[in-house]
Structure 1
Amino acid sequence: MYNNKLYLIIRAFQKMDIWLLNDLLPDTIYQGATKSKFLEKIEKAFIALKKEGDTSLESFEGISHSEKDSWNRTGFSFVGNHSRKHIDFIFEGTAFDEITNIYNCNDLELFDKTVRRKQQIPIDILHQERANYKRYKKYHTYDERYISAINELLQYKETIIGVEIYAQWLEKHQQLYNRTLPNRKVGLFKLIVDALDKKGKDANPQETSISDNFYWMYRHIKEVYEDYYLPKHKDAKKAIEEYNELNLADENDLLKWLVKYEETYNKLGFFMDLYLEDDDTEFFEIHNVRLKTSDFEYIIKLCHLSTEHYYDMLDKYTTSKNGDLYDFEQKFIQSVREKHILDSKNKYLNYLQQYENLFRNKPKIKDEEEFVKYLKNTNNDDFLHKYIREYCEEEFKQHNKEYNEMSHNFSSLTYHLKQRGIIL
């Protein structure tokens, strides 16, 4: 139940009444900005929603994952009655429900899972719009350094550069990179997209900050150099030289070579899929910078050779069956089910506590008897995803550890040869 003031503020949002909001909200800082600047952003969002045909907003309560352990913070999504576009906020308050701050939320999860929503309209406060802008102003001096660092590589935009050039660039700008973080205002989904967008083709320069442009360019080139070239190149070269001396008619020789370099070519396929769509070309591109493919000649050859021989030998010598991982999952699920039924009183109390911490409303399972019935009757997939992940944290960690170990062994030729007692 909300107090009268909060109820009126929610009603003002529902009616898209900027004047009423101005009267209701105290003169303080909202999302780092002054009240007038914050309301200016809200008014622009209201105008955008009205242009979509919305005459009012529906309000739905929810919680942000990043706020789930914080008390006196309530999330609301205000959804257009026609467009279904929405603006989401966290309302921060005192123990007496007085509003002390309101700020935009990018990961609001609604309690009502049936609500239909479309695109979210962000409420962004730029650095220069912050109430304490002078304190942040010094960070804008970094813009020139970001631009300079980016241009150092973009001067080669029409040429192909080798590892010696970008290795020096990475070393030169390491300190600047270490002081830079990606813009979290864009939300988790956008961060994931940017992390996977190796070519930078999806970035809109008008919507991407200069610091983000530098950050992702540096991070992706760093990944190529430090995660693949440095740890793999020399060993890959040595592996290819030794392969050329192998007697391929002797399977033991091939097995020794495969086991010796198993760690070296581990995850090379992942590297190829991420960066080298066509390894016959002279270069591959990262953020408009062309990197010489021939620097990775031995890594590419090793990847192809491992694909050619490794999986044939793995199929031949494997000690695993296709259903082993599934059987492990089912045994784990059943053991947890039985354990929790035997200790149902304590486990039900734990369920109540966990549910209240996560959602702060009435749990769906009302008593211990219903709890036991739920455990007995829930199908395995439901049981794993809806119960174990949320309320059996320690057991799930142990399960993950064992499952990941089994999964690794499943695809390790070295492991299966040892299981068979084959000493090379």
Structure 2
Amino acid sequence: MTLADAIAAQTPLVQRLLDGVATIGADPPGITRDAYGLGENQAQALIAEAGAALGLTASTDAGANLTLRWAAPRPEVAPVLIGSHLDSIVQGGNFDGAAGVIAGIGAIAALKAAGIQPRRDIEVLALRCEEAVWFGLGLIGSRCMLARLPQGALDLPHARTGRTLAQSIADCGGDPARLREATPLRDPRAIGAYLEIHIEQAPQLIEAGAPLAICLANPGNVRHPFIRITGEDAHTGLPHRFRRDAALAGADLSLALERLWLDEEAQGRPMAVTIGRFHTPVARHSLTAVSGEFELSLDLRAYNANHLAALEARLQAITAEVAAHRNVTIALGERSAAAPGPMDPALIEGLSTAARRCGVNAPRLNSPGSHDANNFAAAGVPTGMLLVRNQNGSHNPHEAMDTPDLMAAIHVLAEWLAT
């Protein structure tokens, strides 16, 4: 059986797993698979069952990440890890993360069916809690694996259960005491490569008419989940010169950050600004009051560490300018960060060559999103990504990846693994 025939033969398996995780996460109108909770646990169990059927060896590390290993008879080089995540945001889509884990299963199944023996161990990773919605910190599974958890992270509360990250990890069979040692669970120097398949989070591939892309880089980010603006409550008739309006300060801050974004892109420096939360206090806001309190969240991202640092400095300056203009105080509050993730040049070339051999049109694009791949790249692991066409972006119920496009990505992945 040719590899192309073997890939096609795995379509029912891949579709069954995609449908399976959709059933597990069903939360109309979208999908919710809670990290370190029932949804993520059940999805891991489904993937582990598929791995067992292929004869893969399962293990769980101290972060409760699942690894399924296909051992090479005589490994010639360090192992390749193929990974992504199974959790979702609340009422998101089915394919963000899960498609990448399932792609690893599909690629190994196809190589086995084609009778191709690996030159190195191949491992499929189902990494925990990639989405920041659950603890206010993203990429947690890969942070655990590579000792990249920030100080205090294990004490963060779960958004639904209130249990700390340490308690949540222990509940799922992990070992928070081992994580507190702050040493990698896997030596990055002993990992040959990390590969991730992920749906694209912008319509660039729809625009290009291509089923997949070779990723060039993922952005890093700086996040402030709870920016708090404090002014002074007042009557709605208060003249403008007396006001310390926290809501208008929030608007000024947001629009100033948008101007920064447009200016940077005009200079050829890609970045993004996202205001995810933007509100006066729900318990006290009123039609007939000037709000003295306002809260918003900020995700600031860029593809280069120096650029990201420069943007963070501009954030500080803009914040001070708005606070002075509106006579309010602005506390940026809690901060988390993820390093940018440039892809390995050799893997970019290797995946491009594999795509050509498969007859697949695969342009090279930046990813709009940060992924677990960022942590592997930051740890010095050669890292590569394939982005799969997806009609409606991600983090919404309307993700629209077509299975044939995922199968094309699996073909390219398997072709690269076979060389």
TM range (shorter): under 0.3
TM-score (norm 2): 0.21
Higher relative contact order (CA 8 A, sep 6+): 2
Structure showing greater radius of gyration is 1
Q: Which has the higher helix share?
A: 1
